[in-house]
Structure 1
């Protein structure tokens, strides 16, 4: 994808050019609506049942690890024949997820591709698209990039049945307790500075795809939902004006990558001019799936780039000010697993009456795409300077607490002692503004949020005296969509930050949930902030937290 001050990001016509330091490579063109067509009639394999409480979580129980499998999905998982050998030079043939977590933990990853069918990009003159076409023609497999430096000039559209893999990283870990780990992939993929390019797919039926063991410099992972959006396609309007979800595919894997410097340099992608300041809805990893999403052992590292920017804020007002400061590369979302890009559709459903307009009203009956099964986010390290570390939504088996999304053993590091000059790139910040600065943002039902850590800090606003609002460690709020049912919050430690409350905020209903053994940030509460007009807290066990629970 190429972005400039004159041309907004258009993802319907994409050209690929991938290169290494020495060869001159051939440019190849990919059209999304040619290879991966949107279908207006697609309804997706969403099915539901009602449990005893009348809440719809989905229809298939998990396997104890949050995996979701349906007959429809399994029928489409056709592996390569045993005779497939890939290309001449080959490459690693192990399943790295099984190597780290065991064969039985995520069996869908074992069968998503034939891991022994490897297409080495060196056998295709470093032409990534040619290697992928060969893999697709063989029924799928692994496209392998040996150690080295490669450059993307446009988005690379990842195909179903393909895992894009770099040099193996062995036992290297993304996190070491509350510090960044030693994960350092030797395969480096570079994207143009602050253009929010990377590895992309928005096919409604995309399935069995992965991104593994890459060092992504300025490159985002965008395994997006297919949305019905009437506006011109760009990074903002695609989700902002979306009216429906056409599909999200299944079996998406993002594992063992180091990612940094993901940003888009204009506050409004629909009007790429004016101040150079991050677009606030950018995300380093966005992974959406109807069944099975695994985002694990990724290191979202602190930016190693430095650039100055001069911005004019509150233009034409008495408070007008010109500021020269460091460009905040890390002011972006970290991991988005099924939540942020659905905000426009949530608004459209509420406005049209497809879902009730009252807070917390989303259910799997009216919005099944918000309650996908098999969402797993674990063992990641996220550095950030504004926005949210991990955002997600999903659903459980309809009866068991903690049977939905598994958000486990992640660390979020929020920069300390920084100034938020502006949230939107236009207005000077003030004390009532929010840049979120949030560790974990929960939606969906039956979440298991356990053993995570965070160092959460708010930012100073422009006057240097006040800080931005929010700064939660873990939050489930009414404004984002659904009430709280069958959740587990256990053993999370946010004690090292200057902020970091852990609470449900003004939900109408919080039921059948556990809040235990958590530690909030300095002088921060744990519990439930109720909506006084609609207060229903039922069967919530809150124990052994520091501080003690309030509102329960």
Structure 2
């Protein structure tokens, strides 16, 4: 009897134990499932509310830079939307390669509402392109030398991407082995993003969406040193007459290209000061000028693959499918009139195309240095498939801009035209500052161009509807000022255009055949080598050092 009671108690105890254990396991499973579904932002490395253990610099880099130089007012207020205090140190994350490691840090920042992926001082070698996400900024250690205009500007946090190693035989080296970029996952939407205080070698910054429909905003490119950026022209080689290994540096590449709906700051960057990857191509084949014969350039220097033969900085002026309408307005080309675009304090070197190419309503292009190579020579047309003619344009320009309410101030620029082969001809280009009606150009309204210095002309060239524009106190050395409202198709007028107090070592030409009100050319100083030509409706007084011509009659 006692034995049976003991057996019953044992069975009851055993069953009770099983029930308790079952409830415990079930509770644990439920808790785990619940937490996994509700705390999706939890990181496997044990992040706090935001940031990772090693962290990094947490100050507002833009406010610090301009505040320390007594120019705190130059830091836009919208940069405060960046989560500067949430810092995710790249060394706190793992992956089978650096791209995976970066993606882990980026995704942790994104899941916590944005922040900084921080690269401490050092060299980081990537094997492929990388992409940001909305709210994520990548940042390096603050450089010892703060100004990118300084020749010894050298950020200690360095991102290195694959080098193109040319093979001048067979099919050549595949393009996919190099020519990488830094992009963003959803370029039409991703906002509060940026790249700060980094040396970037062999990767373009390319945050480009649809210029008409994008809704992204708040983009910062600051303190970047960019070198060895290019992409091959997709039309070269033309296999019917060119070697399969030939490559041609695509003229529409750029170190930095951005599109945004509002608020873009491109400031304190240094572009193309240490190009090491140019290479020659002996045996390059192309068509003759008349396309009747095939030429072979045995001298490899005639068609090098050149990493500076393209744009420097492009903001809301890249290509558009179908092209832009002539003389755009906010109605016909809204993408050219986005607000909050500022390009300032950059140092840009380029040897073809445009140093700074931008559009906006309220656009500011200020205190940039744009450098070029003198005594340049080139042997092909812009496509790289045909021998150059004497009338070729390679679009050597300092600043090409468009929009309304624009300030272009305090820029220093050098622009040189190419000698075409061994001929006496120079390329048909060489504009210092240009606003035109085509190719992303707009009508002109409330434009101020002042206190700039350069060796190439300032031109509002064949642009219909020029209104409320001042060109003041610029030094134009060995070149001209052109303001031409008449286009190739018909005459136009201009109103409230003032060309005042400039030093010009060339000509001043201001023409609007339909006349206008409040136009003035006064106080300009020449060096006795140039003409002053103008339409009869324009008031002209107190200019010196010009051969003043009779005014153009109105139509």
Establish whether TM, by shorter chain, passes 0.5: yes
Task: Give the aligned partner of residue 264 of structure 1.
Answer: 231
Q: Distance in 2 between matches of 1:130 and 1:443?
A: 40
Task: Give the aligned partner of residue 16 of structure 1.
Answer: none
Q: Distance in 1 between matches of 2:235 and 2:228?
A: 18
Following TM superposition, by how much is the alpha carbon of 1:155 offset from its aligned partner in structure 2, in angstroms? 1.8
Task: Give the aligned partner of residue 240 of structure 1.
Answer: none
Task: Give the aligned partner of residue 401 of structure 1.
Answer: none
**Which consecutive aligned stretches of 4+ in structure 1 deviate over 4 angstroms post-superposition?**
269-274
Task: Give the aligned partner of residue 219 of structure 1.
Answer: 203
Q: Distance in 2 between matches of 1:193 and 1:504?
A: 40
Task: Give the aligned partner of residue 372 of structure 1.
Answer: 338
- 1:207 is paired with a residue whose SS is coil
> Retained in 2: the 8 A contact 1:226–1:248?
no
> Retained in 1: the 8 A contact 2:236–2:384?
no
- 1:175 is paired with a residue whose SS is coil
Following TM superposition, by how much is the alpha carbon of 1:274 offset from its aligned partner in structure 2, in angstroms? 5.3
5+ residue gaps in structure 1? 1-81, 228-244, 351-358, 396-403
Structure 1 position 487 matched with structure 2 position 442: no
Match of 1:94 among 53, 59, 65: 59
Distance 1:83 1:152, change over 3 A: closer
Cα deviation digits, residues 234-293 of structure 1 (max 9, x gap): xxxxxxxxxxx3315100000001001101133538989553110110010012111100
- 2:281 is paired with a residue whose SS is strand
> Retained in 2: the 8 A contact 1:388–1:440?
yes
Distance 1:150 1:345, change over 3 A: farther
Distance 1:464 1:379, change over 3 A: same
Structure 1 position 536 matched with structure 2 position 506: no
Task: Give the aligned partner of residue 168 of structure 2.
Answer: none
Determine which structure has greater relative contact order: mean sequence separation of CA pairs < 8 Å that are 6+ residues apart, divided by chain length: 1
- Once the two structures are overlaid, the 10-residue window that deviates more, 138-147 or 540-549, is 540-549
> Retained in 2: the 8 A contact 1:420–1:435?
no
RMSD (Å) for aligned C-alpha atoms: 2.3
5+ residue gaps in structure 2? 1-46, 165-177, 512-555
Distance 1:110 1:517, change over 3 A: same
Following TM superposition, by how much is the alpha carbon of 1:526 offset from its aligned partner in structure 2, in angstroms? 4.2
> Retained in 2: the 8 A contact 1:300–1:381?
yes
Following TM superposition, by how much is the alpha carbon of 1:332 offset from its aligned partner in structure 2, in angstroms? 1.0
Q: Distance in 1 between matches of 2:421 and 2:233?
A: 20
Task: Give the aligned partner of residue 314 of structure 1.
Answer: 287
- 1:216 is paired with a residue whose SS is strand
User: In the TM superposition, what are the counterparts of 1:495-506 in structure 2 within 5 Å?
Assistant: 495=455, 500-506=456-462
Q: Distance in 1 between matches of 2:113 and 2:213?
A: 25
- Once the two structures are overlaid, the 10-residue window that deviates more, 522-531 or 454-463, is 522-531
Aligned residues: 426
Task: Give the aligned partner of residue 253 of structure 1.
Answer: 220
Q: Distance in 1 between matches of 2:401 and 2:311?
A: 14
Normalization by structure 2: what TM-score?
A: 0.73
Distance 1:531 1:246, change over 3 A: closer
- 2:394 is paired with a residue whose SS is coil
> Retained in 2: the 8 A contact 1:196–1:282?
no
> Retained in 2: the 8 A contact 1:266–1:275?
no
Q: Distance in 2 between matches of 1:270 and 1:384?
A: 24
Cα deviation digits, residues 496-537 of structure 1 (max 9, x gap): xxxx11011111111101001112242334433632722211
Task: Give the aligned partner of residue 121 of structure 1.
Answer: 90
Q: Distance in 2 between matches of 1:335 and 1:490?
A: 21
Task: Give the aligned partner of residue 155 of structure 2.
Answer: 185
